[in-house]
């Protein structure tokens, strides 16, 4: 350890830590705590402080419940939650000149109800080591961040992310970052909100590049997006209004949303939080906006894992338990007919009905939208790089599941969180290659493979297959896409 480094932002001085040539400043507020009059309201500016603020330890994450069961053994949960969670963590190379380095702003996943920037999976040391100022931001989750109430703005968690982006643009030079070279990125739910951010006119002007990893590109009309809010209100016996929800303790709201969400799943259209089309932050779905040209001026790196669905099905055995009923429900929900199902099955010899249903969901929700956005952008000449992460983990039948690319992107193989996903024998050379691709994209927009063109075939990221997949299809097929 070296002497504690200090940095000064608009609200005061910060004392961080330094080790191995990397400086960390943790728990730095970018907005006021969402308490009292700030609950269910747009994020307010952070308050200034006297003296030097300690920035050596992580702050709390947004209130949430931990992952449970078999999935909880694979995905880590945050250690501490609390109301004062609108803060960022910053990793930077030691002695970086002010305003000199590219910046990566990261939004975590977790279905908009879990996660936080304190998770070791999002440690930015490797990015700082390689010349990138890495910032990870918390945002409001669940009922606090994505309720649709009669008298409060929707998409407050997304509004928090925009506030974090404004803070980075305003303050990042103090840590060595160049405010004109910001890449905004996220995975899963954080990728969906990243897509919404770059589709928003203001946010699109604040960043130069974006990375969308396994992100749903959807937003629903207010009435549909508010379904879960109404169910939570019914569970608690209150009105779906700001005053009523603000009268409930955060931990009680979390308990109610857990009860409501536990009653269904994605295949049967179970209640879940999502973005609401609001005419302001989200004027239309990110998918429609990006396909039609929003953010064409930005460089985009977008992709999925090959077997997204296995995270939710393989560890729990749900595919075996539900089988054909799961496939029928999935087909009905997404309007997939028998001919398409037969075609999907022909590319997956030996795969059971339940796992086939999961593959269908992964294709419809994540894979196909990413490819279509890439193809539309490529047709207009917008710089777009498409990937598919295909390395298969031997742990719990996960294969190339959702989240599997994260230890490789962050170059964190061998850490406890990574081992739970990958096991002890994950290929270090692949981690070096994937992490370097992300660093290079943040630095100059080139991850090391050609930009998408024509049908936008994805570049395959695998230990022994570093090239584009020909005739790319749904995750796990290696065959042509049915639509």
The catalytically annotated residue of 58, 87, 200, 402 is 402
For residues 393-412, give the mean pLDDT. 96
Percentage with pLDDT > 70 across the chain: 89
User: 148 pLDDT exceeds 70?
Assistant: yes
Q: State the first-to-last Cα distance of the chain, in angstroms, to the nearest integer.
A: 55
For the ranges 39-43, 76-80, 140-144, 331-335, the lowest mean pLDDT is seen at: 331-335
Please give the domain boundaries of the chain with CATH numbers for all domains. 6-315+366-461 (3.40.50.1820)
User: 279 pLDDT exceeds 60?
Assistant: yes
State the average pLDDT for the chain: 91
The catalytically annotated residue of 136, 143, 147, 188 is 188
User: 102 pLDDT exceeds 90?
Assistant: yes
* 308 flagged as catalytic: yes
> Between these two residues, 228 and 315, which has the higher pLDDT value?
228
pLDDT in the model for residue 470:
38
pLDDT in the model for residue 118:
97
- What is the model's pTM? 0.93
User: 164 pLDDT exceeds 50?
Assistant: yes
pLDDT in the model for residue 464:
81
User: Rounded distance, CA 296 to CA 119, Å?
Assistant: 32
Find the angle CA(189)-CA(197)-CA(296) to the nearest 5 degrees: 115
User: Rounded distance, CA 158 to CA 195, Å?
Assistant: 11
Handedness of CA 226, 230, 232, 233 (dihedral sign): positive
User: 131 pLDDT exceeds 70?
Assistant: yes
User: Rounded distance, CA 413 to CA 430, Å?
Assistant: 10
The catalytically annotated residue of 171, 308, 363, 457 is 308
Contact 423, 397 (CB under 8 A): no
User: 401 pLDDT exceeds 70?
Assistant: yes
User: Rounded distance, CA 433 to CA 364, Å?
Assistant: 29
User: 99 pLDDT exceeds 60?
Assistant: yes
Cα 55 to Cα 15, 29, 134, 139, 162: the distances in Å are 5, 10, 15, 18, 22
Residue 99: exposed, middle, or buried by beta-carbon count in 10 A (0-12, 13-18, 19+)? middle
Pairing of strands 299-305, 384-389: parallel
In the beta sheet, which residues pair with residue 13? Answer: 8, 52
φ/ψ (deg, to 5) at 88: -125, 155
pLDDT in the model for residue 477:
34
For residues 135-147, give the mean pLDDT. 98
pLDDT band at residue 262 using 50, 70 and 90 as cut-offs: confident
For residues 374-388, give the mean pLDDT. 96
């Amino acid at each position: 350890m070296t002497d504690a480094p200090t940095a000064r932002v608009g609200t005061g001085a910060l004392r961080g830590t330094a080790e191995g040539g990397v400086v960390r400043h943790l728990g730095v507020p970018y907005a006021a705590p969402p308490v009292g009059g700030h609950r269910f309201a747009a994020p307010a500016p952070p308050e200034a402080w006297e003296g030097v603020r300690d920035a050596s330890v992580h702050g709390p994450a947004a209130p949430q419940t931990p992952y449970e069961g078999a999935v909880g053994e694979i995905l880590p949960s945050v250690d501490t939650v609390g109301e004062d969670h609108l803060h960022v963590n910053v990793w930077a190379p030691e002695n970086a000149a002010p305003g000199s380095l590219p910046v990566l702003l990261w939004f975590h996943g977790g279905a908009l109800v879990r996660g936080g920037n304190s998770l070791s999976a999002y440690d930015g040391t490797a990015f700082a080591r390689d010349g990138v100022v890495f910032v990870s931001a918390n945002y409001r989750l669940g009922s606090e961040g994505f309720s649709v109430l009669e008298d409060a703005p929707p998409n407050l968690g997304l509004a928090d992310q925009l506030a974090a982006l404004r803070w980075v643009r305003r303050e990042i030079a103090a840590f060595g970052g160049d405010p004109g070279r910001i890449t905004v990125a996220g995975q899963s739910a954080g990728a969906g909100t990243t897509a919404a951010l770059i589709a928003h006119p203001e946010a699109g002007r604040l960043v130069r590049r974006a990375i969308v990893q396994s992100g749903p590109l959807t937003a629903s009309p207010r009435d549909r997006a508010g379904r879960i809010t109404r169910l939570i209100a019914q569970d608690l016996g209150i009105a779906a209004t700001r005053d009523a929800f603000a009268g409930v303790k955060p931990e009680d709201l979390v308990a109610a949303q857990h009860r409501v969400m536990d009653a269904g799943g994605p295949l049967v259209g179970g209640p879940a939080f999502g973005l609401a089309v609001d005419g302001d932050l989200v004027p239309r779905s990110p998918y429609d906006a990006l396909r039609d040209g929003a953010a064409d001026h930005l460089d985009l790196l977008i992709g999925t894992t090959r077997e997204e669905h296995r995270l939710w099905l393989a560890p729990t055995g749900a595919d075996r338990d539900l089988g054909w009923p799961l496939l029928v429900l999935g087909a009905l929900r997404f309007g997939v007919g028998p001919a398409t199902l037969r075609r999907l099955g022909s590319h997956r010899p030996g795969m059971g009905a339940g796992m086939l249903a999961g593959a269908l969901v992964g294709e419809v929700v994540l894979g196909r939208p990413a490819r279509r956005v890439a193809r539309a952008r490529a047709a207009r000449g917008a710089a777009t790089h498409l990937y598919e992460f295909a390395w298969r983990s031997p742990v719990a039948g996960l294969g190339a599941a959702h989240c599997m690319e994260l230890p490789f992107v962050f170059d964190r193989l061998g850490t406890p969180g990574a081992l739970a996903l990958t096991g002890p024998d994950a290929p270090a050379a692949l981690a070096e290659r994937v992490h370097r691709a992300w660093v290079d994209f943040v630095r100059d927009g080139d991850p090391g493979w050609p930009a998408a063109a024509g049908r936008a075939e994805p570049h395959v990221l695998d230990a022994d297959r570093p090239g584009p997949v020909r005739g790319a299809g749904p995750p796990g097929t290696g065959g042509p896409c049915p639509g």
